Amino acid sequence: MTGNGSKYVVVTGVSSGIGRATLAELAAHGYHVFGSVRTQEVADRLSQEYGAAFTPLLFDVTDEDAVDAAAEQVAEVVGDRGLVGLVNNAGIAVGGPLLYLPIEEMRRQFEVNLFGVMNVIQAFAPLLGAEAEAPHPPGRIINLSSASGHTAYPFLGPYAASKFALEGFSDSLRRELQLFGIDVIVIIPGAVRTPIWDKALALAEEDDYSDTEYAEIVPKVRETLARLEQEGMPPERVSRTIRQALESPRPKTRYVVANNWLLGWILPRWLPDRWLDRLVARQWGLGRA
C-alpha cells in the first residue's frame, strides 16, 4: 500500500550495492520506491524490511516483456500522479583482454548496461511525462555511469565501452526530452564497494588467459579489482548524490562522486593520452620488452 502523498520513484537493481543504498536513502526521505529485483526471495526480504515504502518489481532489464509488465503494474498504482524519477542503476561488469574476449561477453555487457537502460526508459517514459498533456509534472531520469565512462583502463574494455556509450546516449536523450521537460542526469561514481566487482573477479578467475601473452598480467588485474572493492567508497555516498539530483531545483547534468578527485578524476582526464598510456603500462607491466 502507498499513501496519496507519496513521491514515486523506480530504481533498477536494488538487491545490493548502490541500488540497495538508494532504496534505503529514498525510503528514509519519504519516497515510495518501486525497485527491480530478479528473484522472489529478494523481493520478499526487501518488502519485509521496508514495508509500505517499497514495492518490488520482478524483472531483468534485458527482458522487454517483463519490463513492460512492470511498467503497467506501476501505472496502476501511481495513476495520474506519475513518477518523480527513474534511476537506472542495474548493471554488470565484464572484464578481460579484448583480443581474446568472447564477443558474446561484449554483447552481454551492452545488453545490460545500455540496451537494458533503453528498455526501461522506453517502458516508463509515459509515467515520467513523455506524452502530450501529461496530467503531472515531468519526472527525472538518472543514469548510473562510472569514471570508466570517461577514462578506459585495460582489461575493463567492455565495461568502459558500455559506460562511454551510456554517456552519449544520456546526452542525446536529455536534449530530445526537453520537448517534455524531462531532465536526464548522469551520476559518475569512482570505485565503490559493490558486488559488481565480485562478478568481474569471478570472470577473471574462470579464464586466466594462461595460453596468451597476458598470462602474467591478468593476475595483477585481479589484484587491482580486489583492492578497488576493499578501498572503494561506501555506496551510501552515491545514494545521497542520487537524492540530491532528484531534489535539486537546478540539477547539474552530471554529478561526479570520487574518493580521490586528483587521482581518480582530474589527472586521468587531463593528462595527455600518451602520458596516461605510459603510466598504465608501467603499473601493469604492459610495456614492450
Q: Residue 65, Cβ neighbours under 10 Å: how many?
A: 9
Instruction: From residue 82, give the alpha-carbon distance in Å to each of 22, 71, 125, 137.
Output: 20, 11, 10, 8
Closest CA to 21 of 257, 185, 224, 252: 257
Cell triple for residue 26?
529514498
Cell triple for residue 9?
520513484
Q: d(Cα 69, Cα 197) in Å, to the nearest integer?
A: 30
DSSP string, 137-188: ---EEEEE--GGGTSPPTT-HHHHHHHHHHHHHHHHHHHHGGGTT-EEEEEE
- Can 159 be counted among the known catalytic residues? yes
Q: Which of 159, 209, 214, 255 is catalytic?
A: 159
CA 49 to chain centre: 23
Q: d(Cα 12, Cα 187) in Å, to the nearest integer?
A: 14
Closest CA to 71 of 114, 17, 8: 8
Task: State the SS3 of 258-272.
Answer: CCCHHHHHHHHHHCC
CB contact at 8 A, 181 and 206:
no
The residues annotated as belonging to the active site are 159
